[in-house]
Amino acid sequence: MTQLSTATNGVSLRALLAEELRGIETPNVRATSCTSDWRQLRPGDVFVALAEADDDGHDHAVEATQRGAAAVICERPLPVFDVPQVVVPDTRIAYGRLCQALVGNPSQQMKVVGVTGTHGKTTVARLLSSILRVAGGTAGTLDSFGYFDGDEDRPARGNGLSAPTLARSLAEMNAAGASHAVVEVSSRELSQQILAGVSLDAVCVTNVGRRHLGWHQSVENYRQAKRRIFEYMHPDAVAILNADDPASVAMLSELNQPALTYGMKLPAEVTAEIVEQYVNEQLFILSAGDDSVGVRTAMIGDHHVYNCLAAAAMALAYGIELPEIARGLEAVDRLPGRMERVMCGQDFAVLVDAADSPDALRVCLRAARSASGGRVICVYGSHDECDLTEYPAAGRVIGAMSDVTVVTHGYPSDGSHRSCMELRTGFADVRKAQINVNRAEAIAWALDEARAGDAVVIAGMGDRAHTPTELDGELINDCEIVRQLLRGRRTPMSHQRLVA
């Protein structure tokens, strides 16, 4: 969604963008609505020209004016003479600020928390929201799972955040009376200045690894995109950083604002000690200063303890006591596709996880290994958005950390077998990895192979729906496939079966 309007008297572009205009004489246009898509433009909208990877909005300024644009915000003078032009250094920043201003700058009226990192963003956002609710607050959440405005839960809005989506969501949370808004932000969204116009009351960086290099071109560009989140912090905002993550620690030295660290290996303000780990729960001691509390979570793995620590550190920054923090953490007993257990009376564990990178696979397989007394059987196949250059590295991780592997795909197609072969090249012993491009068949084989005490990890897709049912063709996800198989019901299989 790229169009945003408001019922207010409008926003003065000259006043709003005074810093960006740098003394350039600009007509004092009052904006009451805006869009970055000339095809959606309605008479009276301000058109913001954004340069995208496959299209440049500056090339469509004439079409925008022909449709009735009230003004054009651009990064260079354009051959448009019928409407005012507002030339700024970065139209993405101007777009974000305008969208936020049109809905009344909601981040100035409630506390907005930004969560970013390579892994754990969504889980941390949900854990913090749970803690805030237990402590008596009303927390809205905007993450990859969906959108909760403090009153109603809805599915995720499109593919990632846009400036108008973020503005409208924050305004709805504020109108619903939310005391806090917890927003998950990816590196790509940060590089696109999605947070422009937002004032963050707290920031959490879970960890910074290597991801999305096809988009960012280099590790340093990726890390720089993550650092950008600090630019939106309120002067009194607090930063929460992982003391066990070297890249996060490096960011700590660059901050001029209050910060809290968390970790389990190196010194930190908020720490944890794992006491027990089983396939269906774990117990750890959460400590801050001289105070400690036991936390028993149904979600397992060291990585989940780190996510709990990040959420706990942010809650402590808001003055929430450890007992309430523990109750909030324990209240989150499952998250779709995040080491999600499927239990249908079987004597082995089944865990469904969204892990689609070497680092994420290492984390989930380690958790399965530590919590299980038997073999680790891995079914892996990812979605089309996965970075194929990471496949050999993913194969190395799976080959080293699982006992039995079935390589498959998220959405079988003509090229699926080739991508499966690419992943298998990472195995030290390729005979250890069977290939079956039909995901439902691969899962069925793994479940048949499992014995008492084993752990079956189905990774790469999480809660994404991908396989059509036999009755009505509705797409179902890995968890539902497992349930149908374990309950003895047939799951749809394609006619294509490739095993090597």
- For residue 127, the model assigns a pLDDT of 96
pLDDT at 310 over 90: yes
Q: What is the average pLDDT across 287-294?
A: 96
- For residue 160, the model assigns a pLDDT of 73
Residue with tokens 């960890």: 207
Total residue count of the chain as it appears in this document = 500
Across the chain, mean pLDDT equals 88
Please write the tens of the pLDDT for every residue from 153-177.
777 755 678 999 999 999 999 998 9
Domain with CATH 3.40.1190.10 in the chain: 106-331
Q: In whole angstroms, give the CA distance from residue 108 to residue 112.
A: 9
Q: Is 64 in a helix, a strand, or coil?
A: helix
pLDDT at 108 over 90: yes
pLDDT at 498 over 70: no
Token pair in block for residue 146: 């969906």
Confidence label for 261 from pLDDT (cuts 50, 70 and 90): very high
Q: In whole angstroms, give the CA distance from residue 43 to residue 61.
A: 14
Domain with CATH 3.40.1390.10 in the chain: 3-102
**H-assigned helices in 176-301:** 187-191, 213-216, 219-227, 246-252
Q: What is the average pLDDT across 353-381?
A: 90
- For residue 497, the model assigns a pLDDT of 40
Regarding predicted confidence, which is higher, 348 or 221? 348
In 10 A of CB 65, how many CB atoms? 21
- For residue 491, the model assigns a pLDDT of 53
Identity of the residue numbered 439: R
Please write the tens of the pLDDT for every residue from 4-23.
766 567 899 989 998 777 55
Domain with CATH 3.90.190.20 in the chain: 340-486
The CA-to-CA distance between both ends of the chain, in Å, stands at 44
202 in Cβ contact with 317 (< 8 Å): yes
Q: Write the CA distances from 342 to 182, 369, 427, 483, integer angstroms.
A: 28, 17, 28, 7
> 3-102 has which CATH code?
3.40.1390.10
The sheet with strand 349-353 has its strands ordered as 340-341, 349-353, 455-459, 376-380, 404-407, 433-435
Token pair in block for residue 92: 């993405």
Find the angle CA(187)-CA(193)-CA(196) to the nearest 5 degrees: 130
Residue with tokens 């006619």: 495
Q: In whole angstroms, give the CA distance from residue 396 to residue 144.
A: 28
Q: In whole angstroms, give the CA distance from residue 37 to residue 57.
A: 8
Q: In whole angstroms, give the CA distance from residue 327 to residue 12.
A: 47
Confidence label for 376 from pLDDT (cuts 50, 70 and 90): very high
Q: In whole angstroms, give the CA distance from residue 1 to residue 163.
A: 9
Q: In whole angstroms, give the CA distance from residue 354 to residue 305.
A: 18
- For residue 54, the model assigns a pLDDT of 82
Which of 418, 474, 475, 420 lies closest to 442, judged by CA?
Answer: 420
Token pair in block for residue 447: 């479940």
Q: Write the CA distances from 353 to 33, 135, 360, 394, 500, integer angstroms.
A: 41, 29, 9, 14, 25
pLDDT at 489 over 90: no
Q: In whole angstroms, give the CA distance from residue 446 to residue 469.
A: 20
340-486: CATH homologous superfamily? Answer: Mur ligase, C-terminal domain (3.90.190.20)
pLDDT at 384 over 70: no
Q: What is the average pLDDT across 382-390?
A: 71
> 106-331 has which CATH code?
3.40.1190.10
Residues 6+ apart with CB under 8 A from 163: 4, 36, 92, 95, 96, 99, 100, 193, 194, 196, 197
Q: In whole angstroms, give the CA distance from residue 170 to residue 110.
A: 9
Please write the tens of the pLDDT for every residue from 112-166.
999 999 889 999 999 999 999 999 998 999 998 888 776 677 777 556 789 999 9
221 in Cβ contact with 246 (< 8 Å): no
Phi, psi of 425 (to 5 degrees): -65, -20
45 strand-pairing partners: none
